[in-house]
């Protein structure tokens, strides 16, 4: 990767670390600053609020002149995110990308999109149609999907504390 791109990525990473967003966590292996692992809390007041969602950010050699590649690693039910984790969002489209765009703005836009899908520019038209025409059914399906794939985060401080300080994995298995 070009030195210019690496310096830009390092600067943006430094900016994110100085002013972190409590809903978006960025993890970076310092030996490869061009690949980020991101965890994003579901926006409060949306059907996604019960989950934490993973994504990767990969910066290309052409960054910042071309957008980074973002991909969700967590499976989800969303009109703008397909089953492979590909994302449809205006800011990442080549025709809309500007070199001055900061990755923090892209992550903020992703957080906004997670809570407020754009059914007019979907990757999954059937989900977009459901979102547009039957919102209660859409929200119910999102919640069922979260339950099915196990995206729950601890709902109370004590559950989080307990699971952090005590290893809850079973010490034995029952014979069948």
Query: Hey, which residues are catalytic here?
Result: 88
| Torsion sign across C-alpha atoms 122, 128, 132, 137 | negative
Could you give the angle at which helices 125-133 and 135-149 cross, rounded to 10 degrees? 130
């Amino acid at each position: 990767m070009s030195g210019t791109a690496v310096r830009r990525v390092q600067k943006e990473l430094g900016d994110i670390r100085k002013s972190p967003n409590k809903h978006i966590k960025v993890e970076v292996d310092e030996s490869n600053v061009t690949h980020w692992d991101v965890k994003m809390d579901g926006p409060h007041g949306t059907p996604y609020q019960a989950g934490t969602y993973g994504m990767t950010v990969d910066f290309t050699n052409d960054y910042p002149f071309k957008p980074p590649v973002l991909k969700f690693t967590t499976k989800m039910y969303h009109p703008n995110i397909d089953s492979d984790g590909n994302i449809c969002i205006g800011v990442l489209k080549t025709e809309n990308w500007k070199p001055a765009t900061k990755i923090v703005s892209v992550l903020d836009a992703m957080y906004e999109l997670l809570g407020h899908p754009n059914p007019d520019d979907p990757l999954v038209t059937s989900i977009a149609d459901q979102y547009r025409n039957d919102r209660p059914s859409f929200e119910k399906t999102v919640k069922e999907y979260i339950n099915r794939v196990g995206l729950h985060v601890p709902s109370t401080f004590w559950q989080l504390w307990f699971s952090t300080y005590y290893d809850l994995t079973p010490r034995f298995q029952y014979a069948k």
